[in-house]
Amino acid sequence: MLGLMQDHPLLISSLIEFAERHHGDRAIVSRRVEGDIHRYSWADAARRSCQVAHAVEAEGVPFSGRVATLAWNGYRHLELYYGVSGAGRVVHTINPRLHPGQLIWIVNHAEDQVLCFETSFLPLVQAIHTHCPTVRRWVLLCDADKLPHDSGIPNLVSYEAWIGAQSDRYTWPRFDENSAAGMCYTSGTTGDPKAVLYSHRSTILHAYGVALPDVTGLSACDVMLPVVPMFHVNAWGTPYAAALVGASLVFPGPALDGKSLYELIEAEKVTITAGVPTIWQMLLAHVSANKLRFSRLARLLIGGSAAPLAMIETFENDYGVKAIHAWGMTETSPLGTAWAPKAKHMDLSAQQCQPLKVKQGRAIFGVDLKIIDDQGHDVPWDGKTYGDLLIKGPWILRAYYKGQGSPLIRDEHALGWFPTGDVATIDADGYMQITDRSKDVIKSGGEWISSIDIENIAVAHPAVAMAACVGVPHPKWDERPVLLVVKRAGIEVSREELLRFYEDKIAKWQIPDDVIFMDSIALGATGKILKTKLREQLKDYKLPGV
């Protein structure tokens, strides 16, 4: 016997319809490439998303056809999210920080038919467009009168002209909720990038997950500023979760430096924001150098790489902003775990909880986790034993687009677990802690050293602005850790002093063998430390005494 409830497919168009009808007056504020501030509401966004839907139809893009974006976080990007997916086409967000060769590869692999791009990427598109034969329409995200006439790009139109001629009423089609809605390529640090294809169903279920009280607790009273780019796993689903609860959105455009972010947070009374630790480092440097305070900011979601304890403590103790440490990946939409207390922590003070927050949190309903050893056996949840982290759930990848077979590991129920490539521990309460990417773990004398632990300790030293730890080959121990450090301006520290800093914090054999001071540390396209590049830079380096 089947249940007798209404059969509504979970479609992305229902989010924008809901936001328009129930929270239509809530503001969407965007700092544009031009530097000015654009303001409108969810109702305006909904009307213009209808115009986008008509425009892709008029362009002849078929159902499931790909419409790509090379864009910052802003209102036009939001309209493409809803207009393209809502009309049953696939919005393919491309990371503009990738190498042009990788961009070409991705556009061809995805067979994008329309590509919408920001004026800041005009030179990039001029360089690649002849190599992208599937793209039949190039859309510059600008006003009609700003379109350059000598760009050399055929079939180029301004976004405002492209949608301007279309009606702002559209009947969103109904289709299978498992249809593809969005596409995002992994950063491709090993081999070619791989495409993750989100469905309408996975996107909506994930948006509910993001809004849960033990995750962001996002509500109709919030003003959310996603700093995490809309080209990186859909800004962690925040543009969808905001529509689902009726939150206001503030988009930073390309200005992600500490000063610009601080000014936007204050001017727009932002209550919650989301981004990677490197962004928060820049924000903290700005507020501390200028002795500033946050007037409304209450919560801050940190993920993408490990949040150091020093950062969590500074936000919470010095600025009264609750830090929510979360973990996920492109393949997991991305939300996998988030840190929130359990009832047993209620007797602890907020400060007593802080050291626990270096863990990446616990699974939220919708996903399940496990850790396994080399033979595929489960390892205990004791907070000490580490294993390869597997994850499953309705917003976790099953197969890559055009992938050869499925990467899933089957269990006894033939259900698939996605192997994350991360190494982690899980404690008895279910809190997971990432030890490393499996390829970044330092293997020394048969034991493992977590590069994340070494980095977290280093950045707690007042003279350290940024730190990275990599393994360097050693004739006896296989590998030994070396610490790379960028010093904070105006504060001196020596190699010996930094090594001494580890003495009461970790086992002696885990202390790095050397410290190398650098002017800068290479970051990848999503703001994470590029360990492959660092290893390359160290290829002629010899450990002391070897």
Name the site residues for ligand AMP (rule: CB under 6 A).
186-187, 233, 303-306, 325, 327-330, 334, 360, 420-422, 434, 437, 526
Angle at CA of residue 88, ends 83 and 89, nearest 5°: 75
User: Rounded CA gap, 433 and 415, in Å?
Assistant: 24
Q: In the numeric block, which tokens belong to residue 91?
A: 């919005």
Nearer residue to ligand AMP within complex by CB, 51 or 450: 450
Q: Work out how close the CB of 326 gets to ligand AMP at its nearest, in angstroms, rounded to a whole number.
A: 6
Query: For the chain, give me the number of helices (H) and strands (E)?
Result: 17, 26
Beta strands (DSSP E) in 45-104 are 66-70, 90-93
User: Rounded CA gap, 47 and 170, in Å?
Assistant: 9
Residue 134 in 3-state DSSP? coil
Q: Work out how close the CB of 204 gets to ligand AMP at its nearest, in angstroms, rounded to a whole number.
A: 20
The catalytic position among 186, 203, 271, 526 is 186
Nearer residue to ligand AMP within complex by CB, 422 or 453: 422
User: Rounded CA gap, 182 and 253, in Å?
Assistant: 21
266 is catalytic: no
412 is catalytic: no
Angle at CA of residue 168, ends 162 and 172, nearest 5°: 105
Nearer residue to ligand AMP within complex by CB, 306 or 364: 306
CA 295 to chain centre: 26
448 is catalytic: yes
Q: Work out how close the CB of 478 gets to ligand AMP at its nearest, in angstroms, rounded to a whole number.
A: 22
User: Rounded CA gap, 224 and 266, in Å?
Assistant: 12
Q: Which of 331, 271, 329 is nearest to 301 (CA)?
A: 271
Nearer residue to ligand AMP within complex by CB, 325 or 461: 325
Q: Which of 261, 257, 415, 421 is nearest to 330 (CA)?
A: 421
**Strand partners of residue 29:** 39, 250
The catalytic position among 20, 57, 331, 455 is 331
162 is catalytic: no
Nearer residue to ligand AMP within complex by CB, 166 or 332: 332
Q: Work out how close the CB of 184 gets to ligand AMP at its nearest, in angstroms, rounded to a whole number.
A: 9
Nearer residue to ligand AMP within complex by CB, 14 or 360: 360
Angle at CA of residue 246, ends 19 and 322, nearest 5°: 155
Nearer residue to ligand AMP within complex by CB, 163 or 466: 466
The catalytic position among 146, 402, 439, 443 is 443
The catalytic position among 322, 448, 528, 533 is 448
User: Cis link prior to 380 (omega < 30° from 0)?
Assistant: no
Q: Work out how close the CB of 91 gets to ligand AMP at its nearest, in angstroms, rounded to a whole number.
A: 18
Q: Work out how close the CB of 99 gets to ligand AMP at its nearest, in angstroms, rounded to a whole number.
A: 16
Nearer residue to ligand AMP within complex by CB, 65 or 361: 361
Q: Work out how close the CB of 240 gets to ligand AMP at its nearest, in angstroms, rounded to a whole number.
A: 17
**Strand partners of residue 28:** 40, 249
Q: In the numeric block, which tokens belong to residue 508?
A: 């002696």
Q: Are 337 and 361 in contact (CB under 8 A)?
A: yes
Q: Are 102 and 124 in contact (CB under 8 A)?
A: no
Q: In the numeric block, which tokens belong to residue 340?
A: 């929130």
Q: Work out how close the CB of 525 gets to ligand AMP at its nearest, in angstroms, rounded to a whole number.
A: 9
User: Rounded CA gap, 390 and 388, in Å?
Assistant: 7
Report, as residue numbers or ranges, the catalytic residues.
Answer: 186, 331, 443, 448
